[in-house]
Amino acid sequence: MRKFASLFVTAILCSMLVFAQSRSVSGTVTDAGGKAIPFASITVKGTKNGVTADADGKFTIKSVASGTVLVITSVGFDDREITVGTSDNVSVSLTPTSGSNLTEVVVTSAFGIKKAQRTTPYSSQVIKSEQLNIIPQTNIVDALAGKIAGVQSRSQSNVKLGAGDQDFLRIRGGLSLGDVGPIFIVDGTIVNAFEINPDDVEDVSVLKGANATALFGERAKGGAIVITTKKRGPKQGIGVEFTQSVMADQVYILPEYQNLYSGGGSSSLTQYHYAAGQPAEWKALDGKYFPDYTDDASWGPRMAGQEYIPWYAWFPGTKYSFKTAPLVGQPDNARDFWNTGVTSTTNAAFSKSGPGYSTRMSYTNQYIKGLLPSTNSKRNNIFFSGTADLSEHFTVGVNATYSTTTVRGEFVDGYANQSAGSFNQWFHRHNDMNIMRELAGMKSPTGNLMSWNFYTNPDGATGYDDINGNYWYNYYDYFANKNFLNGRDRLFGDFSIRYKLNNHFNVKATIRKNQLTTYTENITTSLLQQSALQSGVLAEYVTQNTFSNEYNYEGLATYSNSYFDNKLAFNITGGGNVLRTLYKDNTASTENGLNIPDLYSISNSAAQPTVGNTRQA
């Protein structure tokens, strides 16, 4: 009996000794800059005991005693061996293999699940931030253009500043016969591409066709662009990043215009004869010749430098008043109309990371001076991301983006619009655009804006009212009196809590929010209405507000394990989602002009105003 008791006590002590010496060790695998290396392999040297790090480079390996040697390997990096000490946490930094450009490609799919591309059963392509921002772009669609196989990019002209018509991607292999673009998912939240800031993007996974639909449902029948944002700085510890870019845009290709014949519909100039009752200052032009100002085409006399009366000479108050000029073509007048567009983007980011936590915050300011006169865009974007391990089992995370954008100006490209719609058909080839720009804002003695296209030619006019505008304005005056404002405020992001039972099983609960508020206030001034008699432009006031909100409640459970010395991997994921949406809008606009000039309100509508309201939940 005594011998049995002695053996029993000895067995207990040995078991306690083994238990004390063997334990679980956790850690993170990173590169030299502190960036996580996903799916690295960690094995105990000389044994079959091993695990694979997750997408964030984190791992936990069991039954490890002090003095054990761990071997860490990953594609594109040199193997490294470390000796386990007394600490239960280790940090491993790998060095890139010399001359190798290979790295593990990680695909992000639904619910933020990350997998090695070599293990995914569907077609995908991954774009890293380094490739995305080779040349700074104002939006994510332009940044992706030309970088993805099988994807067509249809970019809108920079003239439009993203107002109304946004850039479009089409992924080959989509399930729709129509022109349906992909959805954009940022850290698991479906958003509009317009508010995605390329400076905050870590990588982009492109999922095509039926695979995207299977993962994201009917909304992804055109494919899915899955975006992971930057969660930490380029190095461990505190990091500060600052970037500034400035780009200039100029009109490049324009149609070839004829420069032989001047404006008007008459093949010869008309001699002006002063008549009693006309403005006395017009006497200075008596006997001189003028083209047909009323016709807005260019079927006038051949231009040979002959003396003529330009349109602006009939109005007082300028250095050109009541003076003639040589009639010559202006080959660059259509090009001279456009501004030089300037895009300035400033980004500042702060990050801090350490064992068990990481955080990153960035602010981006973007200002665009438009190619069209009196147009601009302003955008401010704030991004925050943070994760923290509350304990060995619980991790919380938050991602949040707030973007506010205002776009000013009218952007119309239909027939007979007041920019390219004029130059391509209705325009005088002898008009000097630089003088037109110089005279912007000038008015006739009757208080109307001066125009190159008169309602009546001077030989039949009794005064300044008769040479009011006909179809067209000074282009710069037109855009200055189209006070159009469109704004967008978007808030989106998620909060999550994750419970990790062990290295194989975890549960995650996530709340996602995507809120968009838009507002529109368009004013067409009374001055425009009174300054041209056949333009069809009426004073107008339009207002619109929209609100949309989307909540997603997600639950996700994941189990993964490997067998037979990592030769067989087993992964299973299950979860559910509850979606709640709300949309409402209010719209109103005046009709047939305003009762009282310059009073811009719906109640001042000359006719019954148009009013609308929608609510969907």
Domains and CATH numbers, the chain: 21-93 (2.60.40.10), 106-229 (2.170.130.10), 340-410+480-616 (2.40.170.20)
How much is the average pLDDT of 9-16? 41
How much is the average pLDDT of 557-572? 78
Whether residue 20 is predicted with pLDDT greater than 50 in this model: the reply is no
Per-residue pLDDT of 236-269, as tens digits, reads 788 899 999 999 999 988 999 999 999 999 999 9
What is the structure's pLDDT at 279? 96
Which helix (H) or strand (E) is 509 found in, with range?
Answer: strand 505-524
- pLDDT-wise least confident of 66-70, 231-235, 396-400: 231-235
- Which pTM was predicted? 0.80
Question: b/e string for 575-597 if b means 16 or more Cβ within 10 A?
Answer: beeeeeeeeeeeebbbeebbeee
Which helix (H) or strand (E) is 125 found in, with range?
Answer: strand 124-128
Whether residue 533 is predicted with pLDDT greater than 70 in this model: the reply is yes
Residue 494 Rama label (left phi>0; alpha psi -120 to 50; beta):
beta
Is-contact 513 494, C-beta < 8 A?
A: yes
Per-residue pLDDT of 263-281, as tens digits, reads 999 999 999 999 999 999 9
Give me the chain's average pLDDT, please: 85
- Go through the chain and tell me how many residues it has: 617
Q: From the CB of residue 128, how many other CB atoms can be counted at a distance below 10 Å?
A: 13
Is-contact 561 504, C-beta < 8 A?
A: yes
Helix, strand, coil: what percent of the chain each, to 5? 15, 40, 40
pLDDT band at 180 (very low <50, low <70, confident <90, very high): confident
More confident: 593 or 46: 593
- pLDDT-wise least confident of 114-128, 378-392, 428-442, 562-576: 114-128
Whether residue 379 is predicted with pLDDT greater than 90 in this model: the reply is yes
How much is the average pLDDT of 416-428? 86
Is-contact 23 88, C-beta < 8 A?
A: yes
According to DSSP, the residues that pair with 44 across neighbouring strands are 70
Residue 221, CB half-sphere, CA atoms under 13 Å: how many? 8
More confident: 594 or 20: 594
Question: b/e string for 476-513 if b means 16 or more Cβ within 10 A?
Answer: bbbbbbbbbebbbbbbbbbebebebeebeebebebebe
What is the structure's pLDDT at 613? 96
What is the structure's pLDDT at 106? 57
Whether residue 3 is predicted with pLDDT greater than 50 in this model: the reply is no
Helix (H, G, I), strand (E, B) or coil at 578: strand
DSSP count for the chain of H helices, then E strands: 9, 30
Whether residue 173 is predicted with pLDDT greater than 80 in this model: the reply is no
What is the structure's pLDDT at 19? 42
What is the structure's pLDDT at 163? 60
pLDDT band at 7 (very low <50, low <70, confident <90, very high): very low
More confident: 282 or 124: 282
How much is the average pLDDT of 401-416? 91
**Closest Cα to residue 454, out of 593, 319, 258, 272?**
272
Whether residue 75 is predicted with pLDDT greater than 80 in this model: the reply is no
How many angstroms separate the first and last alpha carbons of the chain? 79
What is the structure's pLDDT at 550? 95
- pLDDT-wise least confident of 80-94, 213-227, 299-313, 424-438: 213-227
Is-contact 615 581, C-beta < 8 A?
A: no
More confident: 194 or 433: 433
Helix (H, G, I), strand (E, B) or coil at 208: coil
What is the structure's pLDDT at 2? 47
Contacts of 64-72 with C-beta under 8 Å, sequence gap 24+, read 64/22, 64/23, 64/24, 64/25, 65/21, 65/22, 65/23, 66/21, 68/44, 69/44, 69/45, 70/25, 70/42, 70/43, 70/44, 70/45, 71/42, 71/43, 71/44, 71/45, 72/29, 72/40, 72/41, 72/42
Rg of the chain taking only CA atoms, in angstroms:
34
Best mean pLDDT range from 126-135, 159-168, 350-359, 460-469: 460-469
Helix (H, G, I), strand (E, B) or coil at 187: coil
Whether residue 18 is predicted with pLDDT greater than 50 in this model: the reply is no
Q: Which whole-number Å values give the CA distances from 237 to 355, 362, 388, in the listed order?
A: 10, 16, 14
DSSP string, 146-183: TSSTTEEEEPPPGGGTTSSS--EEEETT-S-SS--PPE
Retrieve residue 546's tokens. Answer: 């929209």
What is the structure's pLDDT at 165? 56
Per-residue pLDDT of 289-342, as tens digits, reads 999 999 999 999 999 999 999 999 999 999 999 999 999 999 999 999 999 999
Is-contact 452 468, C-beta < 8 A?
A: no
More confident: 477 or 181: 477
Per-residue pLDDT of 31-42, as tens digits, reads 876 777 877 888
Q: What strands, in cross-sheet order, belong to the sheet with 124-128?
A: 124-128, 201-207, 224-229, 183-186, 189-191
Please tell me the distance from the alpha carbon of residue 11 to that of residue 16, in angstroms, as a whole number. 9
What is the structure's pLDDT at 69? 85
The percentage of residues in the chain with a pLDDT greater than 90, rounded to a whole number, is: 53
Retrieve residue 542's tokens. Answer: 């339009």
